[in-house]
Structure 1
Amino acid sequence: MKRKSGFTLIELLAVIVILAIIALIAVPVITNIIEYARREAFRDSAYGIIEAGNLYFTENLLS
């Protein structure tokens, strides 16, 4: 009888379970990183707007 090479169903299920566990850990971490980047971009934009207002004020209204 020839021996067939390949993976058993148990091995495939084990790999799927391990990948699912990794995904369950990775998704919240990636979501937090994206949210942090959005907050930082908003903060930097707000500081840029404030600095533009200050520059306008000092150049035009104090002359």
Structure 2
Amino acid sequence: MQQLPESDRNRARARLELLQPEWLWFEPMAHVAIWQGPDAQHGFHADSLDEALECIERQAMG
């Protein structure tokens, strides 16, 4: 599995803490993200962890 650089992991960890108790799983090789929201699990295409987080943040604001 591809490792994210330390700075990216720290940034992602900080952003994910905002989502608790929800969680996000991202598989970079498959370009897939799964988000466990307050009501259900949602799977979607994402090319990067940043893209997956931005998608979740847009949904939360929109």
TM tier, smaller: under 0.3
Q: Which has the larger radius of gyration?
A: 1
Kindly indicate which of the two structures has a greater share of residues assigned to strand: 2
- In the superposition, the TM-score normalised over structure 1's length comes to 0.27
Kindly indicate which of the two structures has a greater share of residues assigned to helix: 1
- In the superposition, the TM-score normalised over structure 2's length comes to 0.27
Structure number with the bigger relative contact order (C-alpha 8 A, sep ≥ 6) is 2
